Chains A and B, each alone.
Chain A
Amino acid sequence: MYNGQKIFKDKIIPKSIILNSGNFRKECVGIKPPFNIWANICGSDLVRDINGEFLVLEDNLRVPSGVSYMLENRTVMKSVFPEIFEKNKISPVDEYCSKLYSCMRSLSKNKSNPKLAILTPGVFNSAYFEHVFLAQQMGVELVEGSDLFVENDKVFMKTVHGKDQLHTLYRRIDDLFLDPKVFNKSSLIGVPGIFKAWKKGNISILNAPGSGVADDKVVYSYVPKMIKFYLNEEPIINQVETYLCHQKKQMDYVIQNISKLVVKPANASGGYGILIGPKASKKELEEYVKKIKKNPRNYIGQKVVSLSTSPTLIDNELSPRHIDLRPFIISGSNQYVTQGGLTRVALKKGSLIVNSSQGGGSKDTWILDN
């Protein structure tokens, strides 16, 4: 998409879909990040449908979060139920941070003494806990935009002993706020000039700017075709059936059946802006139809997958609650997939919204080695 664009030429995915994506960054065209990997950290959301089949609900390749909950949940479970861990071979998840550290090191140009950091928007960000946690576990600096500056297209940290060149940055802020010189000019949490430094290869950034284009829920629907195109393989895990509103026929279907579907904005996250047809009022449905008609490219429809449930402790009683599963994948010089993941729980009875920003909880997830 950002380099050869062969996938457009071979008409696997329409060029207009990508160019019109809110997360496509034209400034990234022609750039090649280390190992040609754009999304070094990926968290794909999996669900299990009524037939017991695992399906990919969506991909998160921009700034996937939640891994600290996965690790903390395991710590809590080990201390509460040590005897269960003794009796069963439960695959460990603890190596995530060391794998992430190795990945960050592998991306650095400086191999002998690489300086690594995590870029956070600051203490008021809802994921600040995770930023601190990861910095602590990896022993790397936790920086804010104001701690960094660019000189001769190199990025430096302001330390008590003067400037110190930074080689790899795990950014936990959105592309648009990363560099006010290139993207959002009013950004106060970014680093002026960092984009150019990255473009010149003087710093590695993960995930690479522009990687969020793959978060686009319209782009998601083309992933099986991409797998076939690039790998000549069939997907191991299928997707949830998706209708693209920018295609007239599919839009008509979505509008006619909106009360039976889940409709999502293509570029939102955190569970915001989702319409769950069977639970929406007539007025909500009508308003949503207007939104779709106004900007069809920005909406997709999906069949309601009645997510599987898991026993959950609610008011001191076990009660079924809907869940999904987010395993994390790290890609650098090597690739690593967590043997477990973040299971998110919709704590409200009957709710299908598992996002923590919408009141969802989380659970430890065990892969048993039988």
Chain B
Amino acid sequence: MLSRRAKLIYWMSRYLERSNFTSRLLITTSELQLDLSLDDEISWKPLLTVTNLNKDYLKLNKKYSEKKTIEYFIFNKLNSSSIFNSLNISQQNSLVIRDVLPEQSIIKLNDLIIKFNKNIKTTKNKKNYIKLLNGIIQGSQNFMYSTDMEMQRNIEYQFLRLGRFIERTDMMIRILQSQSLRSKQHKKGYEYLTLEWINILKSISAFQAYRQYSKQDITVSDIINFFLKADIFPRSVSWNLNQIERALYRISKKNELIKKIKYLNKKVQKFNIKTDDMDNLLLFLEKTLKELSQLSYNIEKKYFS
């Protein structure tokens, strides 16, 4: 497979996954704010911090607000990771490599973007923007379903998966970071801490899976454990690292990157979580994200240059 085209399919997949998870992040935060009457800064600042967008956001806006943050994450053209830009990059890449994508997948992606552009002006209130975000999650899942059903299990497919799972791991860690930052700000004995984490579970459609996985009373550390280590939950960090390893193996059996990903996964599995030590968790998440980003850089260097 041509390096340039591998890169296009990889990034198409990453940006589509980014639009999916950004939607989830926004829905989670919005619902948390609704449930717990959190103020705008506590609700929205963590999101901007973990996505490294805080500075850029403050250049355009004086204070944190639901309306401005939502606009910034969904539509802002200066935000390279906004949903608008992510979907556009995905679509542009898909046009170049449409000979390797099944026809139905391209139709699904175009449908998603047409619907997004059609509803772009109807996001003035919470009800409408949540509807729009749910549409993005559904549309991107339709695309994934169609690629999983129709694409040959060839090298193109492995790069599509590689992009998807690297982005998913990255975004999953950022979701954990944002909630950890929020948790850190609460005083000791704050009664809704567990509820906040349960909300995160619900926002990524993981609550049911968590209840089936964990047979004990709900605790924050148990939920974090689940997000990090559950090897049967398809959005946990560990499960996604496993998928990255598989995709790399299918691309090339002799692959020094596989060792690195295995090592990273071991570290995730060994991490010991203490509910009252959010600093330690944040430090661990930051390190993991850094290693993932290094791995992503190595993939680019090895296959796309």
Contacts and interface: CB of A to CB of B under 8 A. Distances in A.
Contact of A159 (B3, B92, B100): B3
A205 to B, nearest CB: 18
B2 A147 contact: yes
A42 interface: no
Given A160-B155, A160-B303, A161-B252, A136 B2 contact: no
A160 B96 contact: no
A143 B3 CA distance: 10
Contact of B4 (A132, A136, A158): A158
A144 to B, nearest CB: 7
Contacts of A133: 99
B99 A146 contact: no
Q: Which of B95, B99, B303 has the most CB of A within 10 A?
A: B99
A141 B99 CA distance: 9
B74 interface: no
Interface string A122-141: 11000000001101100001
A173 interface: no
Interface string B82-102: 000000000010011011100
B99 A157 contact: no
A29 B40 CA distance: 75
Given A160-B155, A160-B251, A160-B303, A123 B4 contact: no
A160 B3 contact: yes
B252 A132 contact: no
A346 interface: no
B193 interface: no
A158 B5 CA distance: 10
Nearest to B93: A123
Give chain A's interface secondary structure class: mixed
Nearest to B2: A147
Given A160-B251, A161-B252, A132 B98 contact: yes
B2 A123 contact: no
A142 interface: yes
A147 B4 contact: yes
B161 to A, nearest CB: 14
A146 to B, nearest CB: 7
B6 to A, nearest CB: 5
A159 B304 CA distance: 8
Contacts of B3: 147, 158-160
B251 to A, nearest CB: 7
Contact of A132 (B2, B99, B303): B99
B1 A160 contact: yes
A135 B4 contact: no
Nearest to B159: A160
B1 A159 contact: yes
A155 B100 CA distance: 23
Contacts of B304: 160
Contacts of A146: 4
B96 A141 contact: no
A157 B4 CA distance: 10
A123 B92 CA distance: 9
B99 A135 contact: yes
B99 A142 contact: yes
Contact of B95 (A123, A143, A158): A123
Interface string A158-173: 1111000000000000
Nearest to B101: A136
Closest 8 CB pairs of A and B: A136-B99, A160-B303, A132-B99, A135-B99, A160-B6, A123-B96, A158-B3, A147-B2
24 contacts: A122-B96, A123-B92, A123-B95, A123-B96, A132-B98, A132-B99, A133-B99, A136-B98, A136-B99, A136-B100, A142-B5, A143-B2, A144-B4, A147-B2, A147-B3, A147-B4, A147-B5, A158-B3, A158-B4, A159-B2, A159-B3, A160-B3, A160-B6, A160-B303
